[in-house]
Structure 1
């Protein structure tokens, strides 16, 4: 990881702890990321909403409502 890398973290749900490293600050990020489970059972959908974090980039937090 270089000092210019932009980190995107995921908080909560099945993606909790995942970190994506981008080479620079992206021009635009999606306001919401949808994650769908299709593993041998019913389809389970989780939504993650974008929040900015000055320290490292941004994070997607699990929507709880």
Structure 2
């Protein structure tokens, strides 16, 4: 039996979330997009892969300046 692969999120609305996958993905996604829908406008957050460790990988909330550049 292989060890579980953990995906951790740091910052923003997903801060502290940990997803458990059955194994290492072939290629971890470079960016994860989280869309928050509610009674107001749609809010989009981008999480970037910063590093992969033995236990899994970590996605960190993209800084505001980086978000603005990515939208251009």
Q: TM tier, shorter chain? A: 0.7 to 0.9
Equivalent residues in 2 for 1:1-65, closer than 5 Å:
4-64=3-63, 65=65
TM-score where L is the length of structure 2: 0.79
Moved over 4 A (4+): none
- Provide structure 2 residue ranges, at least 5 long, that are not aligned to the other structure: 66-72
Q: Distance in 2 between matches of 1:25 and 1:55?
A: 10
Alignment RMSD (CA, Å): 1.6
TM-score (ref. length: structure 1): 0.86
Task: Write the distance in 1 (CA, Å) between the matches of 2:15 and 2:41.
Answer: 21
5+ unaligned residues in a row in structure 1: which ranges? none
Q: Is the radius of gyration larger for structure 1 or structure 2?
A: 2
